[in-house]
Amino acid sequence: MIHPEIEKRKTFAIISHPDAGKTTLTEKFLLFGGAINTAGAVKRNKANQSNTSDFMEIEKQRGISVATSVMGFEYSGKRINILDTPGHKDFAEDTYRTLSAVDSVILVVDCVKGVEEQTEKLMAVCRMRNTPVIIFVNKMDREGKDAFDLLDEIENKLNISLCPLSWPIGQGHTFKGVYSIYNNHLNLFEADKTKISESVVEVNDLNDPNLSNFLKPKELDGLKGDLELVDGVYGQLDKSMYTEGLLAPVFFGSAINNFGIKELLDTFVQIAPSPRSREAEEREVKVDEKNFSGFVFKIHANLDPKHRDRIAFLRVCSGKFERNKFYYHTRQGKKLKFSNPMDFMANEKSIVEEAWPGDVVGLYDSGNFKIGDTLTEGEQLKFKGIPSFSPEIFKEVENRDPLRTKQLEKGIQQLTEEGVAQLFIAQPGNRKIIGAVGELQFEVIAFRLEHEYGAKAHFRTLSYGRSNWVTSKDKKKLEEFLKRKQQHIGEDKDGNPVFLADNDFMINMTMRDYPDIEFHKTSEFK
Ligand code: G4P
């Protein structure tokens, strides 16, 4: 028997290609959950690449209300924890890391645009960890692709089996709402962008005579025909396939109009997995073990230079976290206790006395934590599943103010520990190479170096476009390779050697030339 406190937790992230409706859906969940009263409370974290100060302004506001990083609320007897992910594609790595701390995800797809570039990338990350995925097809109030065609596209591009659990009634200007296949139930809401109105009609099946007051005979016939086809093609939900990440339930709706959200949320609380056991390098850590364990997946800087504290976000994996109790920091081998751990309920943060698996606790940190650090009650553990991925842009740091060298070093160290970008040290000369997914990350680093550390740096673009972690069973062969390719080698944050290449072609050629060397696309290859 799993402890009821663990069983009731549903920790997940809403992810999407920018603009598909992630923020709107998050907000509507909070509205339905009664955690907020009006729309507009969730800060949009959008940024225009050409405007860094605008971006930093948004970051500052978000920094002050770090509560937006985790939004907890109670719904239907469950404790729901939504982990926020950045909207901008240049911060995709942050999103990938946050996905290590969730038990499932809701992936939002725009019905007009279908599967987009970021949708595919995010799905690939979910597949790496077999994270259960629910798909929400949004913006059904717009003239988009036909629902059946969309399902084909999603199935093919995302390479996952689907099972629709709700179905749209009409689309675009004829869109009336959605029918819940899973609960055999129809809720028709009045389109309302700012609050949740009472449902206009509730029926329990398609033969309810009340339906004809709201749907024209043609619409009702269309819905019945569609549902027969859906049943024939997709059948019933196989829950175990969903929890293994092999099958994605699909919902349709319009987040902005509140259509399909309740169906999604109600079904989500029924089928989404509660926290499960997790793999550490040493062993599997069972979720209901007595001893506490957890790991840091995100570090949030306090952007106010007067308060240099950071907040480390810790996901509880087993046992019970308690305030003012000493825990063992496994990388540093020292004991730490936290007198003000934070809990996040919707838009408020408060000091928490205890937290359970699935919960995220915010810990004030003066520089003890790196992403991926593990806390336990004394056991040496390191949780798996928090890899670094290959960046796409590489630049060498050049110091522009020799009198502030120390500050620059500290700034680069701290910012990369926070996960803003990856740092590689290259020889000779301990050169610092920063790897990032997008240009905006470099702008943010330059901005923060200047404003928080008083250091000035210039980033010189390098020709690299890929990093592969290299290992070999033959120690000598690896040493030889590292020597021969010295100008292409960097060391990552943990001191592991990384081969920096211009493109995949160069990697493939090198792989061919050095068959004894293994090349890894992520930092986690054990
Ligand atoms: P994101 O977090 O995934 O980037 O998307 P976000 O929720 O910010 O939504 C992107 C845009 O799509 C917003 O419009 C939002 O209002 C709109 N949107 C969300 N859901 C729906 C829907 O169901 N139907 C339609 N038609 N639009 C939807 P915007 O103009 O960028 O912002 P705003 O001015 O509306 O805030």
Report pLDDT digits (tens) over 293-331: 999 998 887 656 666 678 899 999 999 999 999 999 999
In whole numbers, what is the pLDDT of the chain averaged over residues? 88
Number of H-type helices and E-type strands within the chain: 13, 31
**CA 97 → CA 42, 81, 280, 329, 371, distances in Å?**
21, 16, 16, 20, 9
Answer whether 113 contacts ligand 1 (Cβ < 6 A): no
pLDDT score recorded for residue 45: 47
pLDDT of residue 47: 43
Task: Assess whether the C-beta atom of 141 lies below 6 angstroms from ligand 1.
Answer: yes
Report the alpha-carbon distance of residue 515 to residue 443 in Å, rounded.
39
Q: Which residues are CB-neighbours of 175 under 8 A, at least 6 positions away?
A: 140, 141, 168, 169, 254, 259
The interface pTM score, or ipTM, of the predicted complex is 0.97
Q: Tell whether the model's pLDDT for residue 375 goes beyond 60.
A: yes
- pLDDT-based confidence at residue 414 (cuts at 50, 70, 90): confident
Instruction: Identify the DSSP state of 389.
Output: B
- The confidence band for 68, taking pLDDT boundaries of 50, 70 and 90, is low
Atom of ligand 1 nearest to the CA of 20: 3
Structure tokens at 4: 């009821």
Give the whole-angstrom CA distance, residue 276 versus residue 295: 14
Closest Cα partner for 25 from 91, 107, 86, 120? 107
> Measured in angstroms, how far is the CA atom of residue 255 from the centroid of ligand 1?
8
Which residue positions form the known binding site?
16-23, 84-88, 138-141
**Arithmetic mean of pLDDT, 155-170:** 95
Tell me the pLDDT band of 292, cut-offs 50, 70 and 90. very high
Known binding-site residue numbers for GTP: 16-23, 84-88, 138-141
* Ligand 1 center–CA 44 separation, angstroms: 10
* Residue range 222-281, pLDDT digits in tens: 999 999 999 999 999 999 999 999 999 999 999 998 889 988 999 999 999 999 999 999
Res 309: pLDDT: 74
Is any ligand 1 atom within 6 A of the Cβ of residue 116? no
Q: Is the pLDDT of residue 394 over 50?
A: yes
Q: Tokens standing for 363?
A: 């810990």
258 pocket-lining for ligand 1 (C-beta < 6 Å)? no
Residue-level pLDDT at 87 = 65
Please tell me the predicted confidence (pLDDT) of residue 94.
Answer: 82
H helices present in 88-208, as ranges: 92-98, 117-128, 147-158
pLDDT tens across 34-46, in order? 777 666 655 544 4
Q: Say yes or no to pLDDT of 193 above 70.
A: no
Closest C-alpha to ligand 1, atom 26: 139
Residues in Cβ contact with 148 at an 8 Å cutoff, skipping those fewer than 6 apart: 229
Residue 138 beta carbon below 6 angstroms from any ligand 1 atom:
yes
Mutate to test the pocket of ligand 1, among 24, 178, 192 (most ligand atoms within 8 A of CB): 24
Structure tokens at 21: 């409706």
The number of the ligand 1 atom at minimal distance from the alpha carbon of 16 is 3
Q: Which of the pair, 398 or 367, is modelled with greater confidence? A: 398
Q: Which residues are registered as beta bridge partners of 394? A: 435
Burial 218-254 (b: 16+ CB within 10 A, else e): ebbeebeebeeebeeebeebeeebbbebebbbbbbbb
Decide whether any atom of ligand 1 lies within 6 Å of the 44 Cβ: yes
Q: Is 10 in the pocket of ligand 1 (CB under 6 A)?
A: no
137 lines ligand 1 (CB under 6 A): no
pLDDT tens by residue, 82-113: 998 876 777 778 888 899 999 999 999 999 99
What is the C-alpha separation between 244 and 104, in angstroms, rounded?
A: 10
Which is higher by pLDDT, 64 or 462?
A: 462
Size of the chain, expressed as the number of residues it contains: 526
Instruction: Point out the ligand 1 atom lying closest to the alpha carbon of residue 259.
Output: 23
Probe target for ligand 1 pocket from 16, 19, 91, 106, with the most ligand atoms within 8 Å of CB: 19
For residue 183, the model assigns a pLDDT of 82
Ligand 1 center to 138 CA (angstroms): 10
**Tokens read off for 133:** 């995925």
171: left (phi over 0), alpha (psi -120 to 50) or beta: beta
pLDDT, position 155: 96
* pLDDT, tens only, 120-152: 989 998 998 899 999 999 999 999 999 999 999
pLDDT at 48: 44
| Closest to 6 in 3D by CA, of 384, 295, 351, 359 | 359
Q: Which of 397, 487, 464 is nearest to 434 (CA)?
A: 397
Yes or no: say if 257 and 141 are a contact pair by the CB < 8 Å rule.
yes
Phi/psi at 305 (nearest 5 deg)? Answer: -60, -20
Residue 378 confidence (pLDDT): 96
Ranges 51-60, 181-190, 305-314, 417-426, most confident: 417-426
Cα–Cα distance between 56 and 60 in angstroms, integer?
6
